[in-house]
Amino acid sequence: MATQLIQEERIQKLNDKPPRDGKYVLYWMQQSQRATFNHALEFAIRTANDRGDRLLVACGLMDDYPEANLRHYRFMLEGLQDVATDLESRGIAFVLQRGAPADVAIELAEDASVVVCDRGYLRHQKAWREQVAKDVDCEVWQVESDVVVPVEVASDKAEYAARTIRPKLAKHREKFLVELKTNPLKKDSLNLNVPGEDLSDLDTLLGRMKLDTSIGAVTKFFQGGTSQAKSILRRFRDQRLTDYDANRNQPQTNYVSHMSKYLHFGQISPVDVALTISDAKNHPDDDRDSFLEELLCRRELATNFVFYTSNYDSFSCLPSWAKTTLEEHKDDPREHVYTQKELEAAETHDPYWNAAMKEMRHTGYMHNYMRMYWGKKILEWTNTPQTAFRFALEINNKYFVDGRDANSFAGVAWVFGQHDQGWKERPIFGKVRYMAASGLERKCDIDGYVEKVEDLVNQATSTPAD
């Protein structure tokens, strides 16, 4: 396997300011929250070594991150515990400070010679980096470490569908699917005296924050962190990769990797995941290819979508044909109409849909095949397609551990026709793809899925014996 430090296409200079004398190089770690296989971190180490500086890694912790609640914060902070431990073992100082992420970075940059940041693609993530690049008085570098092929390299426009981006990704894939060289920091920075939050007691830290606590953590099912991510990935490779292609759309089974939530918080590198699966030569090619299609094509199509679509979280983002056909059918009679509260409570006439909603609510996860059905039924059971879009996105982002990212916005938009084509016209949906309960009954053991979810809910709601 080829090994390379960092491909130059991952690196961008965000301002025209020069480096200067400072106490340290600052790596503002916000999206790529891991200490291993992190291109931004390795670039920051290289920069510090070249300058003879120490390195400070810092993360900003805000109480009101868009749509985040206790479920998301707990998982993220569990991951940052791993970051702190792993960096300490490499002689690198880490600090978590309360405040808006850009403000934290700008304040710490007052003592920095150079600032390095990782990359995020959502509206507020881009705005934070623009603010830092503008307001600090030294050079700022951005290093991509959360997609395989940098988004501008893959395409210079919003892609129509997976079939249009797939060959473009394939053209560049091998160049970027390489191991990342790890360099030691020459000048230990653990003696830097920078105040920050105590990560040893997450309950106390979370208790001091002003958070939405109505959506509880899902520690009975998933814990955050790079160590967890790698362990789950190895287990998936060894126990579930064979027959993945045949079972990936069978929700009654557990042929899933659970990588999406770890990728969401940057707790594992998509390149690392791809190499782990690609190198599993003892598993069938079809199974490895099927998994890599999801990771390397579908996920990066979602990144392309939010990067080139400014209104990615609005009904207006949909392709013209989808908006037109849904508008033409917006007044079609609905046999069932539910409020958002009824949907969140899983109080519909459909036991399959209710099971999917319960899986989401109690575990922070839903089998991907059921996510499609879940979204399609919200469109069918809501009084207008615009309201349905809002309901689907709000519920998605509220309960899923991996909500609020590019995959979420692209996934919800897909329900309404994004990255899809016109189908046979029918009531309510118009030419947008339709899904029916009868399809679930025909294609999978849907009753087995309902039973599986019942067991998960019992597990979630049970209390330890005295």
Question: What is the tens place of the pLDDT at every residue in 53-70?
Answer: 999 999 999 998 989 999
Could you give phi then psi for residue 24, rounded to 5 degrees? -165, 165
For the residues 93-122, what does the mean pLDDT come to? 98
**Which pLDDT does position 39 carry in this prediction?**
98
pLDDT at 4: 59
Does residue 329 have a pLDDT over 60? Answer: yes
Point out the domain boundary residue: 308, 335, 364: 308
**Burial (Cβ within 10 Å: 0-12, 13-18, ≥19) of residue 63:** middle
In the numeric block, which tokens belong to residue 62?
Answer: 């805000």
Sign of CA dihedral 412, 415, 416, 417: positive
Question: pLDDT confidence of 12, banded at 50, 70, 90?
Answer: very high
Mean pLDDT of 309-327: 98
Residue ranges making up the domain that contains 160: 147-181+225-308
pLDDT beyond 60 at 181 = yes
User: Would you list the DSSP string of 347-394?
Assistant: -SS-HHHHHHHHHHHHHS---HHHHHHHHHHHHHTSSSHHHHHHHHHH
pLDDT for residue 106 is more than 80: yes
205 domain residue, yes or no: no
pLDDT tops 80 at residue 109: yes
pLDDT, tens digit (0-9, with 9 covering 90-100), for 421-447: 999 999 999 999 999 999 999 999 999
Mean pLDDT for the chain?
97
Q: What's the pLDDT score for residue 5?
A: 72
Residue 438's CB: how many other CB atoms inside 10 A? 9
Any bridge partners for residue 430, and if so which?
426
Return the H-helix or E-strand segment holding 346.
Answer: none
Mean pLDDT of 88-112: 98
Distance, in Å, from the CA atom of 91 to the CA atom of 106, rounded to the nearest integer, reads 24
CATH of the domain at 382: 1.10.579.10
- Do 128 and 160 share a domain, yes or no? no
pLDDT-derived band at 2, boundaries 50, 70, 90: very low
Q: What confidence score (pLDDT) does residue 439 get?
A: 97
Residue 17 near residue 138, CB atoms below 8 Å: yes
pLDDT, residue 464, reads 66
Are both 304 and 351 inside the same structural domain? no
214 found inside a domain: no
- Position 3 scores a pLDDT of 45
Q: How many residues are given for the chain?
A: 466
Residue 48's CATH number: 3.40.50.620
User: Over 80: is that where the pLDDT of 88 sits?
Assistant: yes
389 neighbors 376 (Cβ within 8 angstroms): no
Mean pLDDT of 219-223: 97
> How many domains, the chain?
3
Q: With contact defined as beta carbons under 8 Å apart, do 115 and 26 qualify?
A: yes
pLDDT at 463: 77
Query: Residue 297 belongs to a domain with what CATH number?
Result: 1.25.40.80
The reply to whether 124 and 176 lie within a common domain is no
322 and 295 assigned to the same domain: no
Q: Is the pLDDT of residue 242 over 60?
A: yes
Q: pLDDT > 90: what percent of the chain?
A: 97
